[in-house]
Amino acid sequence: MHIVIMGCGRVGSTLAGSLEARGHSVAIVDRNPDAFRRLRPGFEGSTVTGVGFDRDVLREAGINEAGAFAAVSSGDNSNVISARVARETFGITNVVARIYDPGRAEVYERLGIPTVATVRWAADQVLRRLLPEELETEWVDPSGTVRLAEVHIGQKWIGSPVRALEHASGTRIALINRYGQGLIPTGDTIVEEGDRVHAVIADTHIPQAVKVFTGRPTSAGLPAGADG
């Protein structure tokens, strides 16, 4: 996948290196050309000098071929504007914006702009949003047979009850993070847009479970009475 990053500070440069190490192509944008010195030696991606909400700059960075966009500069407004341009103008689905103000971040989340709003920044939190289909393990039991992981839930599951998702995937949904708040779901909890879902999965069942999570629910995958 080709991924465009706006902002070549410590987060942006770390993210660029992590993505490239995973085999993705990367273009990074910054208004200060000296910022590119933060990139790791041997960085093979492209660097573009300019602002991330300039459409011509984004085109130069390959936004038309991109599968994801991250706005991680030091400015909240620039990040949000850039994220909106990437999503609304260029149709990028996997978009994330770094926001320093947690209150504003919640507003943007409700507007459909995924954000990360923590001073204790971790680049892997951005990776989870840019590459949602990749299961991210958070804990493994001592025997190595069961794990807790954040999983991507496909659009077609939105509006379905947790029990339907558990029944179809053979997993247990342990936690939902909704607008920054933790929620322990019941079987009747409805999956909503923007939910970050954490599931307990047997190692041997991971490939099939991931297919179910990213696919669409069918009547065959729902427990009796759940599809009516």
- pLDDT tens-digit series, residues 64-117: 999 999 999 988 889 989 999 999 999 998 898 888 776 676 667 666 677 775
What does pTM read for this prediction? Answer: 0.57
For position 110, what pLDDT does the model report?
Answer: 67
DSSP string, 109-154: HHTT--EE--SS--HHHHHHHHSTTS-EEEEE-TTSSEEEEEE---
Indicate the pLDDT class of residue 227, thresholds 50, 70 and 90. very low
Residue 120 has pLDDT above 80, yes or no: no
For position 217, what pLDDT does the model report?
Answer: 57
**Residue 216 CA from chain centroid, whole number:** 19
Contacts of residue 219, defined as CB under 8 A and 6 or more positions apart, other chains included, come to: 227
Indicate the pLDDT class of residue 121, thresholds 50, 70 and 90. very low
Alpha carbon distance 97, 152 (integer Å): 18
Residue 154 has pLDDT above 50, yes or no: yes
The pLDDT of 162-166, averaged and rounded, is 94
Rounded to 5 degrees, what are φ and ψ at 96? -140, 140
Distance of CA 200 to CAs 55, 82, 136, 171, Å?
42, 35, 12, 6
For position 128, what pLDDT does the model report?
Answer: 58
Indicate the pLDDT class of residue 157, thresholds 50, 70 and 90. very high
Q: Exposed, middle or buried, 119 (CB in 10 Å: 0-12/13-18/19+)?
A: exposed
Q: Please compute, for residue 226, the number of CA atoms within 13 A of its CA located in the half-sphere on the CB side.
A: 23
For position 131, what pLDDT does the model report?
Answer: 62
For position 27, what pLDDT does the model report?
Answer: 97
Residue 228 has pLDDT above 60, yes or no: no
> What average pLDDT does the structure give for the chain?
84
Residue 124 has pLDDT above 60, yes or no: no
Distance of CA 26 to CAs 15, 72, 124, 228, Å?
10, 14, 16, 46
Q: List the 146-151 sheet strands across, edge first.
A: 136-140, 146-151, 196-202, 172-178, 181-183
Helix, strand or coil for residue 12? helix
Question: Between residues 176 and 135, which one has the greater pLDDT?
Answer: 176
Residue 119 has pLDDT above 60, yes or no: no
For position 127, what pLDDT does the model report?
Answer: 62
For position 103, what pLDDT does the model report?
Answer: 67
Indicate the pLDDT class of residue 191, thresholds 50, 70 and 90. very high
